[in-house]
Chain A
Amino acid sequence: MKTLVIIPAKNEAAKIGEVVSGVMAQGFEVAVIDDGSSDDTGVVAKHAGAKVLHHIINRGQGASVKTGIKYGLENGYEAMVFFDADGQMRADEINKVLEPVSSGSCEVALGSRNLGVAIDMPRVTRMVKKLALIFTLLTSRLKLTDTHNGFQAWSAGALRQINLVQDRYAYASELLHEISRLKLRYMEVPVTIIYTQYSKKKGQSIFNAFNILWDLIFKK
């Protein structure tokens, strides 16, 4: 199955090379969306062998993922995997996440750190994630063990149907919403999420949850 691994990245020059090489070592094609970085993210990613889609100005993670999806669909990829640029995810687990989609047993596979292992997850993060689970259950009626896990695999058919309008982080909720709206067959797959010093520093602030909520309510 022709698969594209989509990695949105903003100012990740320090880590992106390693991440891209890791994914390519698993035999996948990689598209890095350089989202208006002020460092050498694009150059480093390209050097490591990724296709680099360059946003000339920063448009947010949601917008970046959508750029990757559009590129993938236009170029005949049959499945896409969403992957993080900061080294939180393990490239050797891509095959595991992709498997249910490539075997056709579902259209979307969602990584779950609660079925899997979360290494050193900060306690506040844990709490906000719990709230997000409840929020997801209420708004999209998806019963998940982990929401907003960026590690996902989608079939091209499913991606072609979804409609994403959120440019920033709220796209994660939107993806779940689309799964529910279109009644896509989905499955959760246990994954390992590694909370390193680097990823904690690069990650979003807990307070961003409020911004996301705002986006979801007012930007429909």
Chain B
Amino acid sequence: MLIQIILIVAIAVMIIRLIVNLRSSKINVGYFALWLIIWLVAILFIWFPGISSYLADTVGVGRGVDLIVYVAIIAGFYLQFKLLMRIEKMEKDITKITRQLAIKDIDSADKK
């Protein structure tokens, strides 16, 4: 089906970008491997829709596509939560740096 081709081409682009990023050392090997596996599994599911249907049937969800959507939503929320936590930590760190700078500045001004 056409949709399979479109999705696989899209994923191929993602994988190429992944490789480019690895080459320019923007990401490390572990991160690269993780995403490569995710994309390869995605291709597997797209090329053989039977797999997801089988899994869906096993866990009691109507259609394979539904199962994928459910899993994707949960994964998305988890990722968002992780990002939120990380941003929060960065905010705290920025505050610490700002505070340290303020105190350092006034201390050096005091000495003058």
Contact = CB atoms under 8 A, between A and B. Distances in A.
Interface in A162-220: 165, 167, 219
Interface string B71-112: 000000000000000001001101100110111011000100
Interface in A34-90: 51-57, 59-60, 63, 66-67, 70-71, 74
A51 B102 CA distance: 11
A33 interface: yes
Main secondary structure of the interface of A (DSSP, over half): mixed
Contacts, number: 45
Nearest to A62: B95
A52 B101 CA distance: 12
Main secondary structure of the interface of B (DSSP, over half): helix
The 5 closest A-B pairs by CB, nearest first: A53-B102, A67-B99, A63-B95, A59-B95, A55-B98
Interface of B: 88, 91-92, 94-95, 98-99, 101-103, 105-106, 110
Given A53-B102, A63-B98, 14 more contacts: A33-B102, A51-B110, A53-B105, A53-B106, A54-B105, A54-B106, A55-B99, A56-B102, A57-B98, A63-B95, A63-B99, A67-B99, A67-B102, A219-B88
